[in-house]
Amino acid sequence: MRALGVLLGKELGATFTSPIAYAVATVFLVVLGYTFSLTLFFTKVANLTYIFHQMYVLLILLVPLLTMRAFADERRTGTAELLLTAPVADVSIVLAKFLASFALVLALLGASLTYALVLGRYGDPDWGPIYGGYLALVLLGALLAAVGTLTSSLTENQVVAAATSLGVFLMLWFADSISYLLPVPLDLVAINVSLIGHFTPFVSGSMFLSDVGYYVSLALLALFLTTRRLADR
Amino acid sequence: MTSLPPPIVTVDRVTKRYRGRVAVHEVSLTVPRGEVLGLLGPNGSGKTTLLRILAGYLSPTSGRATVAGYDTVDEPMQARRCIGYVPENAPLYSHMRVDEFLRLMGRLRGVPPCGVGVRVAAVATRLRLDDVLRAPIRTLSRGYRQRVAIAQALLHDPAVLLLDEPTNGLDPRQIIDTRSLIADLAGQCTVIMSSHILGEVEKTAHRVAILLEGHLLTVRGMVETPDLEALFLSLT
């Protein structure tokens, strides 16, 4: 735990002082603010459903940029040798990298809470879907950060890491599209592995344990595989 | 007759294969406490791989290595606590200041939070880093970077110091400084350093291990090797 705290401090420092983080935050908030204002003026309805789907897409596109450095940069610069020869468990290194990326995702989501506050101040929104939407985005952020950390551990090239993450995220997003072509029971597998299928219910105000389990189990699997990848040397 | 001190590092028939290529083949050697051992060989001879195995960065494909009695694979945490490791080309976190980096590495290597400041100050003074402690690492010269890399390896007072090409890219003055530092450290810890420069090993090591294409060709004391160049040429 002591080493995890030290590593987390280092990773948070590196993440929150990185120009990439500020570029990503700027894009995220500007695009979201534009969409929020436009939707509100056109529909005059106090809900965030459209914004949640927008955030879903933005996270899929932007999280690869936040996680690509995690291990790829350490390998490229050679600092991985310092880190991996210190008396620190591999799992602590993986968790510190993951938590730092996840913290930035949480910061982005935290900044977007202003939209909910504006709706609450000037309208009368249904809070159920808003709570559900934010829970879904937190779970989605954890999953994306974990998978991004995994792909970053597979290469020393940041661009390759980001492109691989994006590819995996898009495949997970559209996994259910292929279900029409697959025989039973593979079609069910494709549907159940789909990212969007486990996201939409939250945004409409329905919460299922199976959806929470999907995000948590996939994130844990990605972190486990990252730890195995580090140990395989 | 004086008996040799017990070995602090043992390498027992260690082999490492990478993607079908043998980087180190059945290497066995022991290093007694307080000795400076030079690993000598051309590029690609397996020196870095052997150091990485001892540092716990790589696992051997077969065989075993121990440091202070701890197996580098089965007891990696205990073994790593006894090791200070300076990888080739002195990789450092360039975005950090020198003092931040040394504090971080001290904490990671097990120096308690209350003592890390004292250790950083002591090691910085010893390596003449006091003037640059507050400087960002990215602004340092090659020589200072190398000193910072050695400093991070000494923070926890290791029993074994592993140096991979410690004078690589340094100017003559910095090479002389590094040599005198290694000589100074020899009394306090065991040093294993790799080099492909004959003169480097000749001037700093007590014994030399010559490697070629992953094979250990010989291990000789420097006293009994008056002409290292002739020995190296005859073996390689």
Q: Is it the case that residue B1 has pLDDT exceeding 80?
A: no
Least confident of A139-148, B4-13, B27-36: B4-13
Alpha-carbon distance B115 to B50, whole Å?
A: 32
Residues of A in contact with B83 (CB under 8 A): 85
Classify residue A121 as exposed, middle or buried by CB count within 10 Å of its CB (0-12, 13-18, 19+). exposed
Q: What is the pTM assigned to this prediction?
A: 0.91
Phi, psi of A49 (to 5 degrees): -55, -50
Residues of B in contact with A89 (CB under 8 A): 77
Alpha-carbon distance B82 to B103, whole Å?
A: 18
pLDDT tens column, A195-218:
998 999 998 888 899 999 999 999
pLDDT tens column, A34-73:
999 998 888 888 889 899 999 999 999 999 999 999 999 9
Q: How confident is the model at residue A138 (pLDDT cuts 50, 70, 90)?
A: very high
Amino acid at residue number A171: M
Q: Is it the case that residue A233 has pLDDT exceeding 90?
A: no
Note whether A61 and A54 are within 8 A (CB). Answer: no
Note whether B168 and B144 are within 8 A (CB). Answer: no
Q: Is it the case that residue B4 has pLDDT exceeding 70?
A: no
Residues ≥6 apart with Cβ < 8 Å to B133: B97, B98, B99, B102, B120, B124
Question: Angle formed by the axes of helices B142-154 and B113-126, to 10°?
Answer: 140
Q: Is it the case that residue A32 has pLDDT exceeding 60?
A: yes
How confident is the model at residue B2, as a pLDDT? Answer: 52
Residues 64-123 of A with CB under 8 A from B: 77-79, 81-89
pLDDT tens column, B60-94:
999 999 999 999 999 999 999 999 999 998 899 99
CB-facing half-sphere around the CA of B208: CA atoms within 13 A: 26
pLDDT tens column, B173-182:
888 888 888 8
Query: pLDDT > 70: what percent of chain A?
Result: 100
Amino acid at residue number A62: L
> How far B170 CA sits from the closest chain A CA (Å)?
18
Alpha-carbon distance A221 to A58, whole Å?
A: 23
Starting at the earlier edge strand, list the strands of the sheet with B21-32: B21-32, B7-18, B62-67, B70-71
Of B58, B88, B110, the CB nearest to A233: B58
Note whether B38 and B193 are within 8 A (CB). Answer: yes
Q: Is it the case that residue B3 has pLDDT exceeding 80?
A: no
> How far B196 CA sits from the closest chain A CA (Å)?
20
Residue in A with minimal Cα distance to B155: A86
Q: Could B94 and A82 be called an inter-chain contact, meaning their C-beta atoms sit closer than 8 Å?
A: no
Note whether B102 and B179 are within 8 A (CB). Answer: no
Q: How confident is the model at residue B106 (pLDDT cuts 50, 70, 90)?
A: very high
Q: How confident is the model at residue B145 (pLDDT cuts 50, 70, 90)?
A: very high
Q: How confident is the model at residue B6 (pLDDT cuts 50, 70, 90)?
A: confident
**What's the whole-number mean pLDDT along residues B185-207?**
88
**Rounded to 5°, angle at Cα B153 from B158 and B75:** 55
pLDDT tens column, A84-103:
999 999 999 999 999 999 99
> How far A15 CA sits from the closest chain B CA (Å)?
11
DSSP string, A27-38: HHHHHHHHHHHH
